[in-house]
Amino acid sequence: GDQTFRDSFYQMEQSNRIRHLRVSNFEDPVPLIPPSTPLGLDFHTYKHTGVNLKLFQRSLLHPYHYHISYPKMDSWVNELRNSFQSSLLHGFNLKIWNHLVPLYDKRLYEAEEEQKDDADKLSNLNLSELYSDFRLTGWVAETAPERTGGEEL
């Protein structure tokens, strides 16, 4: 969605009404297109939402198998980094197979198996804990109101 969509998404995240994990492969062209609406009066760029788990093939350029990020509100450093990492010019190729399940599966398996410390294993990560990490999101979620016995759901 556009920035208005992302702002609404932020509000739902901060009020504990939604959680979103986006998994992406480095050099997968599909999540990068289209980058915007067609040029015209209602032109706007698209914005990603939620926590992103980006998977890499380990190399000299990427000494790790995954990176977790979040599009922090009002952070120009974060916006610049995300714009670069989401750019068609960064890691762009026409290898559509980078979007297919076998490569995602391979990279997820490698990311899990390589971690020596259990705390770093993907299987030990928890989306609610990631959302509660101020260093990742830049905000603290509202506490959910307590329910009394007489309320209808």
Cβ atoms of residues 54 and 26 within 8 Å? yes
pTM: 0.81
Cβ atoms of residues 29 and 91 within 8 Å? no
The per-residue pLDDT for range 77-121, each reduced to its tens digit, is 777 766 666 555 555 566 788 899 999 999 999 999 887 777 778
The per-residue pLDDT for range 15-28, each reduced to its tens digit, is 999 999 999 998 88
Q: What are phi and psi of 21, to 5 degrees?
A: -110, 120
Q: Is the dihedral of CA 37, 69, 77, 61 positive or negative?
A: negative
